[in-house]
């Protein structure tokens, strides 16, 4: 999507932003977008920048996973003093901002407290609790949510129709289930599916999802009631991923299975994964998986 009107789902977010961006004289200078990976935060951020009148080199996108130190924020502060070169303002979109160091976050707070009139900041994160509360307090906050099943089917059908293709219901269902409501994941899987013959599409949808997210393999093993030996191997491959993100994937997958019909295993998995892993981290994930398998 290139405009707020084209965004599928998250109508409350789109509506609130539309109202704010209608009058730039009173528009806030800092936006805070939180939500799971792949739900559209960065896309929304880019749309905001466009609506603000930011174009070309005046728009800067920074991934805090790679640039997380105080030097990055100092450079932003230095550059923010210069007037825009091509548009009416300058915009910094800071992705995964929770990965900024504590010193960098404190330095960013000082910029937010005294932002130049021609500068705007858009902060995106999957883990809002790891960011200073004072930073969030300086921003207009929005939670971008995954799509529900109806919205996901609508998105997939619109793309399939635009490509002059057709697809059977089972493939739609497989993509919707394995994408956890995240449009980016779904569209990436769909792209692979539409490249093959009709009879191969279900198999490709399943395989593409597994390649895209290791956590899907864990979801399937837990709901199927796989052996602990199998689950343990999968968990060892997930050590570098965010436990809380995996928890949300498992919840979304189990929920999708339950909504299709009675499934005791999916219910047990949901029960074990209700509590967040903010404090327990990877050990909490391991314990929840073990409890789900042994119940």
pLDDT tens string 217-226: 899 999 999 8
The domain boundary residue, chosen from 170, 186, 212: 212
Under the banding of pLDDT at 50, 70 and 90, the label for residue 212 is low
Which domain, by its residues, includes 176?
A: 148-212
Under the banding of pLDDT at 50, 70 and 90, the label for residue 260 is confident
pLDDT tens readout for residues 21-50: 999 989 999 999 999 888 999 999 999 999
Mean pLDDT of 118-141: 95
Query: pTM of the entire structure?
Result: 0.77
- Whether 227 and 157 share a structural domain: no
CA distance 213 to 180: 11
What pLDDT, on the 0 to 100 scale, is given for residue 157?
96
Domain count across the chain: 3
Pairing of the two strands 90-95 and 59-63: parallel
What pLDDT, on the 0 to 100 scale, is given for residue 211?
66
The domain boundary residue, chosen from 179, 212, 245: 212
From the list 230, 223, 232, the residue with the least C-alpha distance to 252 is 223
What are the tokens at 60?
Answer: 């800067």
- Whether 133 and 67 share a structural domain: yes
What pLDDT, on the 0 to 100 scale, is given for residue 286?
96
The residue to which tokens 């289930």 are assigned:
177
């Amino acid at each position: 999507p290139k405009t707020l009107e084209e965004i599928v789902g998250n109508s409350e977010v789109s509506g609130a932003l539309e109202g704010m961006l209608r009058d730039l004289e009173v528009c806030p200078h800092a936006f805070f977008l939180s939500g799971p990976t792949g739900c559209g935060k960065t896309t929304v951020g880019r749309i905001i920048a466009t609506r603000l009148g930011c174009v070309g080199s005046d728009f800067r996108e920074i991934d805090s996973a790679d640039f997380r130190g105080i030097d990055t924020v100092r450079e932003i502060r230095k550059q923010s003093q210069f007037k825009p070169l091509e548009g009416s303002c300058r915009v910094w979109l800071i992705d995964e901002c929770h990965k900024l160091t504590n010193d960098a976050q404190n330095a960013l707070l000082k910029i937010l407290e005294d932002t130049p009139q021609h500068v705007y900041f858009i902060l995106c994160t999957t883990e809002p609790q790891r960011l200073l509360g004072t930073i969030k307090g300086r921003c207009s906050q929005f939670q971008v949510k995954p799509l529900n099943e109806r919205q996901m089917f609508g998105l997939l059908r619109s793309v399939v129709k635009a490509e002059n293709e057709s697809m059977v219901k089972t493939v739609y269902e497989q993509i919707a289930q394995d994408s956890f409501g995240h449009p980016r994941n779904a569209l990436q899987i769909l792209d692979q599916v539409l490249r093959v013959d009709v009879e191969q599409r279900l198999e490709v949808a399943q395989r593409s999802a597994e390649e895209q997210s290791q956590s899907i393999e864990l979801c399937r093993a837990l709901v199927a009631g796989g052996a602990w030996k199998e689950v343990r191997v999968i968990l060892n491959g997930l050590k570098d991923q965010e436990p809380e993100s995996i928890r949300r994937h498992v919840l979304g997958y189990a929920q999708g299975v339950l909504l299709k019909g009675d499934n005791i295993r999916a219910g047990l998995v949901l029960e074990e994964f209700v509590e967040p892993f903010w404090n327990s981290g990877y050990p909490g994930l391991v314990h929840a998986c073990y409890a789900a398998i042994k119940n």
